[in-house]
Structure 1
Amino acid sequence: MNIPWRNLIREHGCSHHKTGLQTYVGEKITWEACGDVKGRPVECSNMTVPMDQFNATNSGDKVFTIPLIRMRGKSATQNLLLNPGGPGGSGIEFLFRRGEQLSTIVGEGFHLLSLTLGVNNSTPSATCYPDKDTRRSLSQVRYQRVIEDSPEAYAFAKNFVQACAYTMGEHGLYINTPQTAADMNSILDAVDLRWSFPERSRRVIIDGVVNQFDWYNELANEEDFSDTVHVFEGLFDQCLKAGENCTLSTFAKSKDELMNKVLEFANSIYDEPLSVYVNNTVWGTLDYFKIMYSAVFPALYKPANWYDLADRLAKLLEGNATEGFLAYGKGDPWGMYFDANYFVTMNDGKSGPKFWPLDRVTALKEIIEPVLNPSLFAPSSNGGFYVKQHWTVPKTHNYVPKLGVKTAHPLLILSTTYDPICPLVSARSANKAFADSQIVEVKGYGHCSMAVASACIAKHVRGFLYNGTVPKSYTQCEVDGPYFIKPEQDEKTLTALREFDDPKDMKIHMAQLELARDPDWPLWSRW
């Protein structure tokens, strides 16, 4: 949504009126009341940072404007800065939507401070199109068939990268991870927290991480999809364990048989899509790519969506495609309406003719064997490789990942056992990169630890934030409860997956469930 936060406040039904500007001792920015979240006051601000944080000459008078939002903790004396990821997620929208649950999990000892970089009313927004209509008319390109669609994806990318460079102008050079880290450092300085860069960092938690050595140093991140099929297999394994709670379970007696039935159906409509007619305004087709990349792949991020996915797949196997079409037949399943992800990815890594061959066939050979062939779902990112090949924005950072980086306090690294896009092996690479850091693994499926409910991991997070407690060794946490449960009659009511003696623990558990069932997060995280 490319709307200012005042409009976003109205959209969320917030009732607080402007009460004047507010400043706090030790801070360098001014805040304005901007609504509430379930009765909790929220305040907003904007701050400007140099276009180039590392070279004032390059910046001149050019700046980026970063919107900030904060939910104040009732007994807080310090801020917890939340970066929603993506790249390209809106921290403002996220806090309005799930600030209540985050506050419950973290506790009242922290103000929750978040930001928006490159999207919404962050200016200038990271986009390759001048407006939404242009995006709709020009962004339709086929890329899913790795070989067959290669000429079209290659030709599109040549034009797309020119549009990106032209639309963003000089600002486009400075949308990258090192600049973002410096922006976050400026925010922390403004609220009198100086803990961002390694030698100043305290209480840093990273969750669902990419292998930074591959991100910066390789043409493609071969690790990204290494666990995706394991999550896919887990979907069917948990379905069979759920029995009658998973309608798809009646189609097979083993997870392999069940998975093969779904794959056989998807393959059967690879060349001849299903025609689906609902009425004269709602009709279209379902094909392999909509089933695998718009339905299955996004659901792997969020096990809370598995029940509905399995139910729709069951209907498809029975010959009823209507619900599947209505759910997956149109639209962008990732909700990425800006191009911050492209700019950060391309500006960080090995992009452009310096690193890539100029012709299509040679470039295709570079990626097809090591990246696209080994994984069932990797072709969903196929189009991005041609963008990386043709990228014209000059690189402006000189960041080189290192091993054993000393930080002011050890980092806490969170991961699920099977993450569909940020695998556990990437968390292990971060563990090697930061001295004395430690991993807490949730023994489950999904993207980021908040994809599932786990009282164990909540206690580790609180212990780390309040006391600086880092586990002495690699730690594993169990998931609380099953993956498949029947939806409640009242969608606003959640059923606890387990019972807790302490009411506070039960409250945290319910907040985790609400986060896990959020329809929009963390789908856009790291995609």
Structure 2
Amino acid sequence: MVSFRTIFQFSLATAKSTSYGNPNIQWGNCNETEVSSTLPIQCGNLDVPLDYTEPTSNAKLTLQLAKVPALSQPSKGSILLNFGGPGETGRDSLGLLASLLQPLSGSHYDLIAFDPRGTGNTISFSCVNNELDMATLVSEFVLGNSSDVALGRLWARGAIDANLCFSMSNETGGLIGTAFVARDLISVVDALGEDGMLRYWGFSYGTTLGATVASMFPERIDKMILDGVQNPHQYYHSLADFEEWTISDLVFSGIFSSCVAAPDNCSLAHENKTAAELEQAVWSLMERVKYHPIPFGNFLLDYSTLKSVIVQSMYSTSSWPTLASLLDALLTGNTSAESAILISLITSTAGSSEQTLQATIGIHCGDRSVRASLFDDMLPTIDRLYNTSRIMGDVTPALSMICAQWKMDAKGRYEGDFQVKTKNPALLIGNTFDGFTPLASAYNVSSGLEGSVVLEVNGYGHSSISLPSACTLKNTAAYWLNGTLPKPGTVCQVDSPPYSNITWADVLAKASGNTTRLNKRDTYALPMF
């Protein structure tokens, strides 16, 4: 456990005084093996302290950064980004999304991301050292309702995984926590040689990172957008993330109500059933494949797989038409269509890679401050998850049970209350129907960030960039360019209703007449645990 003395010293520590204007990151063109992007993108490295709680140590960690230069020059400075997880790499996500983020940020800022600790080629963190153990870890990472014995197996497996991770990575497990990544953000700001102020845009878990760095370094915040806001109090101090799933069932229901409202574009609507009848048919389908999985060649469609595909589709309405086609094929027994659609969905909504899964476990479990000794101690948590959401309640117990038995605390974990006045006020964005980070969490965090404002985006999906909206474009660009916050209570309408096939490219075409830098395929659907 981290000692109270370490926590106290870490929470009071401030950044060393640094003279700005002397950049020490050498940038060069990225190659395809480093970062793939449709835009010019540069790569650079920065050495930072490996352990911020050991000021006398010379041990360093090399951060790998990527930068997309501002479209309009000269640049007004840099915006640092984190795309969530925890466990997602930063550079690959920037390469994919920069063409959208440029107009959303006003096109006058360099966009920078780095692979956080425990991801990419940073600190080595792993829980297994052979393919058999890795295959076992992944195969045992099942949903809590996948069988009547699943929960007991998950608890026992959680003990095995916690021990494996400790035996493999006990020297690095304490060095990948969120508070250290917050310090890495400040180290990057110092090395950029600009004005010494942090401009930051965080999505999903990246909002917990943002709330953490804002609370630790409030005087260093120039501008900050927290988008798809997670509850950081529960992230750090609960046995599970409960608030995240409070409206997940409404989003799941929205798949069917939106389908009935757009019958020409949703294949499920041909049965002339009500939205409630369609939803119940899918619940019955999930229960049926639990006991009678469907073989597709060498692939088996079971409860965990089908539900995981549905959950991944809830990140963005852009995947709802394909999901509806799969569900329709399964419900009508159209086996000739099922295979191709299923393979397409599995490919496009594939879950975390093995490395990402291990990083998620290591970062989130190390950040959590609570543990449980017995399976019975976890049952109230599981019951609360199940009572919070039918669609999401059994998705996260596997992670929660590993974290409950974790053996490595993040060194110097942030222990504050997220009540702070930043140098300049932050903008928080929440979607009306976000099944992973509900609007209530945005208001929860905003209540602690003095002067901050919540912008609501009225649609289904996770974070604002899953919802094409000219209103969002206008408000985010105004904030980055001028620091202009929307009036409290502002609600942005979306320009892409479910099943409409309208994309950000269409919205930007209408706004500027230039879509050469944005592809129709660009979407935002990163996994969040």
Into which bin does the TM-score normalised by the smaller protein fall? Answer: 0.7 to 0.9
Which residue number corresponds to residue 251 of structure 1? 271
Output the amino acid matched with 1:426: S
Partners of 1:137 and 1:404 in 2: how far apart? 42
Relative distance call for 1:365 and 1:212 in structure 2 (3 A) is: same
Residues 1:67 and 2:67 are matched in the alignment: no
Residues 1:421 and 2:436 are matched in the alignment: yes
Q: Which runs of 5+ in 2 are unaligned?
A: 1-19, 199-216
Partners of 1:150 and 1:113 in 2: how far apart? 41
Residues 1:271 and 2:305 are matched in the alignment: no
Partners of 2:417 and 2:346 in 1: how far apart? 44
Partners of 1:93 and 1:331 in 2: how far apart? 16
Relative distance call for 1:401 and 1:443 in structure 2 (3 A) is: farther
Relative distance call for 1:480 and 1:464 in structure 2 (3 A) is: same
Q: How far did residue 77 of structure 1 move?
A: 3.2
Relative distance call for 1:486 and 1:475 in structure 2 (3 A) is: closer
Q: How far did residue 393 of structure 1 move?
A: 0.6
Q: Is the 8 A contact 2:469 2:507 kept in 1?
A: no
Relative distance call for 1:389 and 1:25 in structure 2 (3 A) is: closer
Relative distance call for 1:499 and 1:97 in structure 2 (3 A) is: closer
Q: How far did residue 65 of structure 1 move?
A: 1.9
Q: How far did residue 449 of structure 1 move?
A: 0.6
Aligned length: 478
Which residue number corresponds to residue 233 of structure 1? 253
Q: How far did residue 328 of structure 1 move?
A: 5.6
Partners of 1:71 and 1:494 in 2: how far apart? 19
Q: How far did residue 217 of structure 1 move?
A: 2.2
Residues 1:30 and 2:32 are matched in the alignment: no
Partners of 2:149 and 2:517 in 1: how far apart? 46
Output the amino acid matched with 2:498: Y
Q: Is the 8 A contact 1:284 1:329 kept in 2?
A: no
Relative distance call for 1:232 and 1:92 in structure 2 (3 A) is: same
Which residue number corresponds to residue 20 of structure 1? none
Q: How far did residue 366 of structure 1 move?
A: 2.6
Relative distance call for 1:155 and 1:236 in structure 2 (3 A) is: same
Output the amino acid matched with 1:366: P
Q: Is the 8 A contact 2:88 2:119 kept in 1?
A: no
Which residue number corresponds to residue 3 of structure 1? none
Relative distance call for 1:330 and 1:290 in structure 2 (3 A) is: farther
Q: How far did residue 364 of structure 1 move?
A: 3.6
1:327-381: CA deviation from partner (whole Å, max 9, x where unpaired): 46799822333222112211222343xxx1x222x13423222113431122011
Relative distance call for 1:120 and 1:392 in structure 2 (3 A) is: closer
Which residue number corresponds to residue 163 of structure 2? 162
The percent of aligned pairs where both chains have the same amino acid is: 26
Output the amino acid matched with 2:65: L
Q: How far did residue 208 of structure 1 move?
A: 0.9
Compare 331-340 and 410-419 and name the one that shifted more: 331-340
Which residue number corresponds to residue 15 of structure 1? none
Partners of 2:346 and 2:43 in 1: how far apart? 37
- What TM-score results when the alignment is normalised by the length of structure 1? 0.84
Which residue number corresponds to residue 151 of structure 1? 152
Which residue number corresponds to residue 309 of structure 1? 323
Output the amino acid matched with 2:64: P
Output the amino acid matched with 2:433: Y
1:441-475: CA deviation from partner (whole Å, max 9, x where unpaired): 11001111101100101111111111001123121
Residues 1:261 and 2:281 are matched in the alignment: yes
1:108-134: CA deviation from partner (whole Å, max 9, x where unpaired): 311111111135543223332336664
- What TM-score results when the alignment is normalised by the length of structure 2? 0.83
Relative distance call for 1:498 and 1:158 in structure 2 (3 A) is: closer
Q: Which has the higher contact order (CA 8 A, sep 6+)?
A: 2
Aligned positions of 1:103-182 closer than 5 A? 103-118=102-117, 121-130=120-129, 134-141=133-140, 143-146=142-145, 147-182=148-183
Output the amino acid matched with 2:28: E
Which residue number corresponds to residue 422 of structure 2? 407
Compare 30-39 and 390-399 and name the one that shifted more: 30-39
Q: Is the 8 A contact 1:213 1:401 kept in 2?
A: no
Which residue number corresponds to residue 244 of structure 2? 224
Q: Is the 8 A contact 1:90 1:119 kept in 2?
A: no
Partners of 1:70 and 1:132 in 2: how far apart? 34
Q: How far did residue 498 of structure 1 move?
A: 9.6
Which residue number corresponds to residue 345 of structure 1? 364
Which residue number corresponds to residue 351 of structure 2? 334
Which residue number corresponds to residue 196 of structure 2? 194
Relative distance call for 1:145 and 1:404 in structure 2 (3 A) is: closer
Compare 337-346 and 442-451 and name the one that shifted more: 337-346
Partners of 1:315 and 1:398 in 2: how far apart? 49
Q: How far did residue 383 of structure 1 move?
A: 0.7
Residues 1:523 and 2:526 are matched in the alignment: yes
Which residue number corresponds to residue 207 of structure 1? 227
